[in-house]
């Protein structure tokens, strides 16, 4: 049986009483709901979780050693009116204090015999934990005279739940991405295959082949986004950023540059990184410039003392002010300023994180958009 369950019905404990003793080991008073040295206190002391007893006025009249050990609170805080003293000391915020107080009042009023409340507490050493407190009534002569609180640390469980929520969110965004972006090239491939069958003209298969290449690229993007950065395999080699940027520009894999568009490789240099992932990151940044940098953008790529950068002379972050609270929101998967799925900058951020780098976005020298992968190792 769990310790919390053992205390679920303190009214059945023979030693629980009101005014049966002059005081308790922790607090004196005629309204003490437990007998000093009695069975209830022995049970609470033996618990592996932190536990305490409140009287009818919400004063903590008894705490076990585990609660002292875990919280690091002073005796004055441990035995103050609860939750007011904890809130006053800054260990809980007022909203948490109110939620806790409402829960205790329901137990004291006899409205419930088992109340649970989840709280985040700042401990005496400045760290924080997420806990679940189970509140059960102490009764004497059919009257509620106090409350037993048993505190269980659920920090790991809450973090696990949050991680599952993040994973589900990422999977939903991936599903949206795949259904949105795969639909078009699949339709193209299917259409040209049907046309080739009808006409027998094999050159009709060339556009279908290009569409299949696009699908393969999208699947690679999806695989990167489906993994945590630490789980993405990297094969660091020496990569010439100027050559890589030129190949991305000329390949057309990340968009077809307009005739007047220009790529300028400046401060070219070599870095250590996974060439395939870097191609994906730099290519997506170039594609972003071609999509949002105007009719004939000038795109600058290079390596400086901060890292690898891609900058353009387009409208820059002005569009962010109208659609997003913070520029960093643009790197969130699924965020886009048009009808796309917003995977481009999210891929760049994920590639940077897989290498142990940071992605910094801001305004270029010409007022456009600039992204820098910070922390790269130059060769």
Rounded Cα gap, residues 338 and 125, in angstroms: 47
Greater confidence (125 vs 331) lies with: 125
Is the model's pLDDT at 132 over the cut of 90?
yes
Please tell me the predicted confidence (pLDDT) of residue 332: 54
Among candidate residues 300, 291, 317, the one with its CA nearest the CA of residue 369: 317
Name the H helices within the chain.
Answer: 3-6, 39-46, 65-71, 75-78, 84-88, 94-108, 155-181, 183-199, 205-226, 241-251, 275-292, 318-323, 344-354
Please tell me the predicted confidence (pLDDT) of residue 33: 64
Token pair of 326, please? 């913070």
Greater confidence (202 vs 340) lies with: 202
Q: What is the mean pLDDT of residues 262-276?
A: 92
Token pair of 312, please? 């353009």
Greater confidence (226 vs 337) lies with: 226
In DSSP notation, 70-108 reads HH---HHHHTSBTTHHHHHTTSS-HHHHHHHHHHHHHHH
pLDDT tens digits, one per residue of 9-55: 444 333 333 223 223 344 434 445 655 445 555 666 656 689 999 99
Q: What is the mean pLDDT of residues 123-146?
A: 92
pLDDT tens digits, one per residue of 60-119: 999 998 899 989 999 999 998 999 999 999 999 999 999 999 999 999 999 999 999 999
In DSSP notation, 249-301 reads HHH-TT-PPPTT-EEEE-S--EEEEEHHHHHHHHHHHHHHHHHHS-SS-EEEE
């Amino acid at each position: 049986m769990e310790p919390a369950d053992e205390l679920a019905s303190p009214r059945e404990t023979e030693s629980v009483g009101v005014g049966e003793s002059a005081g308790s080991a922790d607090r004196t008073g005629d309204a003490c709901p437990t007998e000093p040295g009695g069975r209830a206190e022995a049970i609470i002391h033996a618990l592996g979780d932190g536990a305490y007893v409140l009287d009818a006025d919400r004063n903590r009249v008894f705490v076990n050693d585990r609660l002292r050990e875990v919280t690091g609170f002073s005796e004055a805080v441990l035995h103050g009116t609860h939750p007011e003293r904890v809130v006053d000391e800054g260990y809980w915020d007022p909203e948490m204090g109110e939620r806790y107080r409402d829960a205790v009042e329901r137990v004291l009023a006899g409205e419930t015999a088992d109340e649970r409340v989840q709280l985040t507490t700042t401990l005496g050493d400045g760290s924080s934990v997420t806990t679940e407190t189970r509140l059960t009534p102490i009764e004497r002569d059919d009257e509620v005279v106090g409350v037993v609180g048993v505190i269980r640390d659920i920090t790991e469980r809450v973090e696990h739940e949050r991680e599952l929520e993040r994973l589900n969110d990422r999977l939903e965004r991936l599903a949206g991405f795949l259904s949105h972006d795969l639909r078009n090239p699949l339709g193209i491939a299917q259409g040209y295959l049907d046309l080739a069958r009808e006409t027998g003209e094999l050159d009709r298969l060339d556009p279908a082949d290009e569409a299949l290449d696009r699908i393969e690229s999208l699947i690679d993007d999806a695989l990167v986004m489906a993994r945590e950065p630490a789980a993405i395999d990297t094969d660091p080699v020496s990569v010439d950023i100027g050559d890589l940027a030129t190949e991305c520009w000329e390949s057309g894999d990340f968009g077809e540059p307009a005739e007047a568009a220009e790529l300028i490789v400046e401060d070219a240099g070599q870095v250590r990184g996974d060439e395939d992932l870097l191609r994906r990151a730099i290519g997506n940044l170039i594609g972003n410039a071609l999509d949002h940098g105007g009719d004939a953008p000038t795109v600058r790529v290079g390596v400086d003392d901060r890292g690898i950068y891609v900058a353009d002379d387009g409208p820059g972050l002005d569009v962010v002010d109208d659609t997003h609270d913070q520029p960093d929101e643009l790197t969130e998967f699924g965020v886009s300023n048009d009808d796309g799925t917003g995977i481009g900058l999210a891929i760049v951020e994920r590639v940077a994180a897989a290498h142990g780098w940071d992605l910094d976005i801001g305004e270029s020298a010409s007022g456009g958009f600039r992204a820098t992968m910070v922390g790269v190792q130059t060769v």
